[in-house]
Amino acid sequence: MEDTRKRLIELLYNQTGDYISGQELSKQLNISRSAIWKHMNELKKAGYQIEAITNRGYRIVSVPHEMSEASLRWGLDTTWYGKEINYLPSVTSTQYHAHDLAREGCDHGTVVIAGEQTAGKGRLKRYWDSPAGLGLWFSVVLRPTELTPKAATQLTLVAAVAYAKALKKWSIPVKIKWPNDLYIGDQKLAGILTEMQAEQDEIDYIVLGTGINVNHTTDDFHPSVQHTATSLKQFLNKTVDLNALFRDMASNFETEYDHFLNNGFQSIKEDWEQLGYKIGEWLTIRTNTEWSGKLISLNDDGALIVEDVLGEQHILYSAEILWRS
């Protein structure tokens, strides 16, 4: 079903404003004309404006920018990620809501996504500004029963790699600032917050939250972060369809997550090294003292390996890295 819809949208899109006949669609998709008609109605419900003209066919007039469960799900090509999507126009934090669902026993891959968050959470108890309609604010419940709690850190890195790779396809040169920020140039585009419920050596569930600044202009950011934060719109100079962006993030996350579970952390680590912000550069590190360190890579715990001027390697878990030095 999902595949047919995705293909249908692709076929409509490929016409670039021109019409495609019902007969052609039915041939390409190998389904009846009445099935096409039903799919068209579903598309309309999802907010697509479709024009149908007798003897000419169909064409997309506009795609929905409004987020809804249907428009988010439309064309989503995942197996388990987002099988259940909970869209909330406004919520305190998608993290809280996802924790509630997880405690109630929701499935692995359940997504909570919001139009706005009134109490968005960043790392280290910081506030995460999540204004209505300007970004992707979503959390996914993961139940990686085969992993130990230490792998939660790795999952944050898996997510960062997945998103960075997805954004590369949009020609956005993103870097991953350790441990969990996505950067364009020297400005923050997105952040990831991983929270875990575990008992001893068993993960009960993980809630992995992602915030991506998408359609902000400079003025949409709080003055205190206008120089340090950025959005996709600022980089691309155009408004981005939140639904399409979500689908790409979801799809890439599922691919990288499955790859990680099947093949281990090594390949994620290799990708991360290619994508790491300021990898190979000398920065000031503040531990007990201040010293110069070159960012080398990650170890298997997802901690940062930094080399000092004598060539000695240090493992930093919660290092104070002065990124701007």
Closer by beta carbon to ligand BTN, 46 or else 249: 249
Could you tell me the smallest distance in angstroms from the CB atom of residue 21 to ligand BTN? 43
Handedness of CA 73, 76, 82, 88 (dihedral sign): negative
Closer by beta carbon to ligand BTN, 110 or else 117: 117
Q: What is the DSSP letter of 83?
A: S
Asked if residue 240 lies in contact with residue 216, where contact means CB atoms within 8 angstroms, the answer is no
Closer by beta carbon to ligand BTN, 225 or else 322: 225
- Most distant CA atoms of the chain, gap in Å: 77
Could you tell me the smallest distance in angstroms from the CB atom of residue 227 to ligand BTN? 17
Tokens of 181: 């920020």
Asked if residue 51 lies in contact with residue 15, where contact means CB atoms within 8 angstroms, the answer is no
What residue is closest to ligand BTN based on CB?
191
Under the rule (CB under 6 A), what is the footprint of ligand BTN?
93-95, 117, 120-123, 126, 128, 130, 137-139, 181, 191-193, 209-211
Based on C-alpha coordinates, what's the Rg of the chain? Answer: 22
Could you tell me the smallest distance in angstroms from the CB atom of residue 192 to ligand BTN? 6
Closer by beta carbon to ligand BTN, 64 or else 211: 211
Cis amide leading into 179 (omega within 30) = yes
117 annotated binding-site participant:
yes
188 annotated binding-site participant:
yes
In 92-180, beta strands by DSSP E = 111-117, 135-142, 174-177
Could you tell me the smallest distance in angstroms from the CB atom of residue 99 to ligand BTN? 10
Binding residues for biotin: 117, 188
